[in-house]
Structure 1
Amino acid sequence: MTGMFTTPVVADSPKTVRVGASSSGLTLDGQPWWPTGLNAYQLATDWSVNFGCGAMVDLDAYFGSLPPNSVTRFNAFQALAVNKVSGEMDFGPMDAVFDAAARHNQFTIPVLSPQDSGCDDGLFKSRDWYTDDWKVANLIPGRATMSFQDWMHTAVDRWKNEPSVAAWELVGEPEPSLCTDAACNWWTRTCPSDSAQVLREFFDTAGAELRAIDPNTLITAGYVGGGQCGTAGDDYQYVSESDFVDILQYHDYGANGVPLPGDQWNGLARRIEQATNVSKPLLVAETGELAGSCESLATRATNIETKLTGQKAAGTAGALLWAFVPDPRPNECTMDIGPVDPLFDVIASLAS
């Protein structure tokens, strides 16, 4: 750990701790809280500065359209903090996201890196990354100037006192598998026998470093939760026992209108049970359903309302929908959630 790139924002004092986690779920200001919100991965896109990740978003319009105390999960990848022209760090686009969220009294979950490295450095994270390579610099012009370890230190140190940050997420959809072809297709990857141990050690080590910088903010593990390498079956609970995993996740696609999808080993009902076993809340951090040319927005809203209502009753800790975009494609079959989608009414009605 070098820390040589760290340029923290100076704050008068640590932020007030508002978000808590316990076996009963999430709390806000000491009161039970079942947050809703959206994934809005594009928020830090600024074509004048970075290579971006999708379209640019009017940040004030977006955060102002959400129900009070909503949560937005967004890409806070290193590549979005690198100036594509100079190759130097440029925090402006990401600073703007936190500033806008704070102006509108909303919450965020910054995801510091993706498993597939889309919109980041472009390199799939295999087993070796989780054991050692997360500490190794992978210099890519316009996209990466430091290792993930240094990026984590830089990002957390800079934004640890931002009032909007509800939780940090180290890696979105972590999976310490091995690629067997150049494309690293999911159906050809292999899963080493020690994958759960590798992932647990990563959370123990990287999580401890994050918490040393920011002891006041929760850490969420961005699991898919459906039986992926390292978190299949009982391994999900083993990895979640890490002292540096405060909030578990499950990502829900398919099974339209079904609150508790999946089988007895890797389904959502099993994940809720495992979360209870480790006395930690489980956030359904991605819920997506195709609409547009393949289904009406109204039908999707009804299906997702049914799904989320059942999940809330079953003991989940909140729900974030996939995914807000400023430029939805109504004539295509997509999971786009545009600015006037009826799903905004759904998350407002379910929020607490």
Structure 2
Amino acid sequence: MRATPRAARPGSSPQHRLWRQPQFWRQSRPERRPSSGRLRRMALAVVGAALVLGAVATGCAGGGHATAGRQGSAGPARAGSAGDPADAFVTVAGGRLELAGKPWRFTGINVWNANTPADDSRYGCGEPVDLEEVAPALGNGVQVVRTWFFQRLATSLDGRRDWSTFDRTIAAAKSRGLRIVATLGNQWPQCEGFPTYQAGYKTQRWYQTGYRSAPPPGQPDSYRAWVREAVTRYRDEPAIAMWQLMNEAEDATAYHGPCAPNAAATLHSFVQDMVTLVKSVDPHHLVSVGTVGAGQCGAAADEYATLHAIDGVDVLEYHDYSPAPVPGDRWNGLAERLRQSAALHKPLIVGEMGVAPREAGGIPGRAALVDRKIGAQLQAGVAGVLLWTWRGNDSGDGYDILPGDPVLGVLARALDPAPRSGSAPAS
């Protein structure tokens, strides 16, 4: 979720952060770009034609969607074959991701609204996306999608549990050879029924007690009870690559408030409790906390390593909205997070990589910048990269990736063995 992170000032304590306005409201309140949607669609039509021709050639040579083998990737195969990777759970061994006993790296995209019900106006959760319908347009470079598995999206208007959208999304992932990073809760209010940012922002009080006792508006269960229910239902489903406890977890006293004095201890206690719960009912799936990783409350500097050292936390995460190939400072940058992940012998994924075309010289410029960034980050040791974010049409969000966008071609060749420009890691 594109919320501008609270970045730590060099040398500042975890309790003193610089605040910048979260920007996820763009998903429901579009921000207009200078260029018109018509011009954007015309540009995409041109680059899309080239991408489609390339995809056809790739498909003829290598098979169907997301099944072609790539260096470091054990691409999912059709279910039912002997030793079928589609039946295998993603695991961690030797500090790296594995699939069916082989080293596995991935590229993919956030399709956060794949579980948004058709009557989405009650959620403020964006236009619904049917994963089965959009999967062909994603291209062979998408092996993994990251999707909201929030309680509100599995609850009917009258408060009853309704798993139909989740079941349909998982079935689509299986039929298309995709894996899902399933995010179970949101630091921010969107998609969970809250009327305002202030009401829906998860504060220290929520991380201490509210997650156990306070159901969100119109929902039957607390967050903790919801996680138990969802994980129990899908614990035997290998299409789920990993559970993510939260989207962008952080522990502050209030929205736009300061970090709590004991933010790290509070967040640590929450994660310890939730990881223990998840692992007690689901022995198969990996677990990620779900963090921005750039110095947020409770997970700044060495606090990040301490949080992810918890037994049962399998995968570290970082969110990247910088033009730098390997972004951040020496306290909270991606290079430092990779150093910490190596010390913990746990893989790290970039759960969101967002680049707006207007910040990169247009749509082709974005593709070129993303190409350099992914190359540098994979070489630096990142286990997987997920772009922010897929849209089937132009919503006005500067981070949108539409059908035919050349950045999808970047994903299609990101794991190729041939060297690519800009692949050297940053110093």
TM-score between both structures, scaled by the size of structure 2: 0.72
The verdict on how the C-alpha distance between 1:49 and 1:244 changes in structure 2, with shifts beyond 3 A counting, is same
Gap runs ≥5 in structure 1: 1-14
- The sequence identity of aligned pairs, in percent, is 32
**Does the 8 A contact of 1:36 with 1:71 survive in 2?**
yes
1:159 is the counterpart of 2:254: no
Which residue is equivalent to 1:111?
Answer: 183
**Uncovered stretches (5+) of structure 2, i.e. residues with no partner:** 1-85, 195-199, 417-427
Aligned residue for 1:140?
A: 217
Question: Is residue 26–residue 281 contact of structure 1 (8 Å, CA) maintained in 2?
Answer: yes
Partner SS state of residue 166, structure 1: strand
Asked if 1:129 is matched to 2:206, the reply is yes
CA shift, 1:178, in A, is: 0.6
CA distance in 2, matches of 1:286, 1:167: 15
Residue 92 of structure 1 is matched in structure 2 by 164
- Separation of aligned partners in 1, 2:227 and 2:121: 19
Tell me, yes or no, if the aligned pair for 1:323 and 1:335 is still in contact at 8 Å.
yes
In 2, distance between residues paired with 1:246 and 1:350? Answer: 24
> In structure 1, what is the equivalent of residue 289 of structure 2?
221
Whether 2:100 is the aligned partner of 1:29: answer: yes
Kindly indicate which of the two structures has a greater share of residues assigned to strand.
1
> Which residue is 1:6 aligned to?
none
Which amino acid in structure 1 is aligned with residue 146 of structure 2? R
**1:101 corresponds to 2:173:** yes
Alignment of 1:63-78 (within 5 A): 63-64=135-136, 65-67=138-140, 70-78=143-151
State the secondary structure of the residue aligned to 2:288.
strand
Task: State the shift of 1:295 in Å.
Answer: 3.7
Q: Return the offset for 1:82.
A: 1.0
Aligned partner (choices 55, 70, 93) of residue 127 of structure 2: 55
Q: Which has the higher helix share?
A: 2
Question: SS of 2:246's equivalent?
Answer: strand
Alignment of 1:287-302 (within 5 A): 287-291=353-357, 295-302=361-368
**Paired residue for 1:208?**
276
RMSD: 1.9
- Paired with 2:358 and 2:331, the residues of 1 have a C-alpha distance of 33
* 1:1-352 to 2 correspondences below 5 Å: 16-48=87-119, 51-52=122-123, 53-64=125-136, 65-67=138-140, 70-84=143-157, 86-122=158-194, 123-138=200-215, 140-141=217-218, 144-179=219-254, 184-185=255-256, 189-254=257-322, 256=323, 258-291=324-357, 295-329=361-395, 332=396, 334-351=398-415
Larger Rg, first or second structure (1 or 2)? 2
TM-score normalised by length of structure 1: 0.87
CA displacement, residues 215-269 of structure 1 (integer Å, 9 cap, x when unaligned):
1100012110111001111101010100121000000002x2x221111101111
What SS does the aligned partner of 1:132 have? helix
Q: Aligned residues, how many?
A: 324
* Paired residues of 1:45 and 1:51 also in contact (CA < 8 A): no
Q: Residue 181 of structure 2: SS of its match in structure 1?
A: strand
Partner Cα distance (1:213, 1:287) in 2: 31
Offset at residue 121 of structure 1 (A): 3.7
Query: Letter of the aligned partner of 1:339 in structure 2?
Result: P
**SS of 1:334's equivalent?**
coil
Contact 1:246–1:281 (Cα < 8 Å) also in 2: yes
CA distance in 1, matches of 2:269, 2:359: 44
